[in-house]
Amino acid sequence: MSEILDHTFPTRLEGFKEGALLLIDKPLNWTSFDVVNKIRGTLKAKLQVRKLKVGHAGTLDPLATGLLLICTGKFTKKIDGLQGMPKQYTGSLSLGATTPSYDAEMEEDKQFPIDHITEELLQKARTKFIGQIEQVPPMYSALKKDGVPLYKLAREGQSIERKSRTVTIDTFDLTNIDLPNVDFLVDCTKGTYIRSLAHDFGAALDSGAYLTGLRRTLIGDYSVENAIGMDEFAEKMSVF
């Protein structure tokens, strides 16, 4: 577990150089790097510097929202420790179909029956994913093969064998069931792909599933309830 860093918004510009941790509520359709680049550009302009270290501690997909930890200045050295913290997500999945990306970014490519799926079957299948499990990352991911992100290869029609990884899921609760839609809450370790969890959950039901919504609510003891949106970030920066 990383040391707990103060995430109080700096009251002076130099505080961003000395080291700041910003809790950002990532907007829908923004990449994590979009957020980093926007914050870096704003800070560089305010500080009137050509270079400033800014990074994030854990990628969120463009279709996901929620907590993104942004480190600036000397706090970028803390990123590795922050990335290792456990995470919590809430989200939704749709049963009866799959997509190549395992989420709603792409069109459905296969359909499956769901008439046999009951709440009892859902709850039984859910328990198979609690504890240490082996998980294969999606082909549409930022993992790299010879320096090239897999999602770029996938868009070229290539499919690369991916090694499974061991992850730990402490909680996988189904919070609302309204077939074909299921809402859930997950507590998990670093490196867990919630899109893969949705895909594998569908397969365990002898059906298919893909992620339709995802929100990261916790990273360690940091909560999205204490995060600010990009509009609020801009407002706070306007006082400098």
Domain match, 167 and 210 both: yes
Domain match, 158 and 124 both: yes
Domain match, 69 and 103 both: no
Instruction: Name the token pair of 224.
Output: 């999205």
- pLDDT tens for each residue of 109-151: 999 999 999 999 999 999 999 999 999 988 777 777 777 777 7
- Among left, alpha and beta (phi > 0; psi -120 to 50; other), residue 71 is beta
Domain match, 78 and 120 both: no
Number of Cα atoms under 13 Å in the Cβ half of residue 150 = 16
Domain match, 103 and 197 both: yes
Q: Which CATH number characterizes residue 72's domain?
A: 3.30.2350.10
81 burial (CB, 10 Å; 0-12 / 13-18 / 19+) is: middle
Bridge partner residues of 94 (DSSP):
181, 210
Domain match, 25 and 121 both: no
- pLDDT tens for each residue of 185-235: 999 999 999 999 999 999 999 999 999 999 999 999 999 999 999 999 999
80 burial (CB, 10 Å; 0-12 / 13-18 / 19+) is: exposed
Residue 111 placed within a domain: yes
Residue 142 placed within a domain: yes
H/E segment holding residue 125? helix 119-126
Catalytic residue check, 115: no
Residue 48 placed within a domain: yes
The 3-state DSSP class for residue 218 equals: strand
Domain match, 98 and 132 both: yes
131 burial (CB, 10 Å; 0-12 / 13-18 / 19+) is: exposed
Q: At what angle do helices 32-47 and 230-237 cross, to 10 degrees?
A: 0
Give the pLDDT score at 160. 75
Give CA 165 to chain center in angstroms. 17
The candidate with the shortest Cα–Cα distance to 214, out of 193, 229, 232, 228, is 193
Domain match, 71 and 129 both: no
Domain match, 49 and 154 both: no
Whether residue 38 contacts residue 26, with contact meaning beta carbons closer than 8 Å, is answered with no
Residue 8 placed within a domain: no
Count: domains in the chain? 2
- pLDDT tens for each residue of 76-97: 999 999 999 999 999 999 999 9
Bridge partner residues of 26 (DSSP):
66
Fill in the DSSP letter of residue 105. T
Q: Say whether pLDDT at 162 is over 90.
A: no
**pTM score of the predicted model:** 0.93
**Which member of 6, 25, 34, 61 is catalytic?**
61
Domain match, 129 and 70 both: no
Residue 206 placed within a domain: yes
Say how far apart CA 195 and CA 35 lie, in whole Å: 22
Domain match, 24 and 128 both: no
Give the pLDDT score at 2. 60
Boundaries of domain holding 164: 87-219
Domain match, 168 and 155 both: yes
Residue 80 placed within a domain: yes
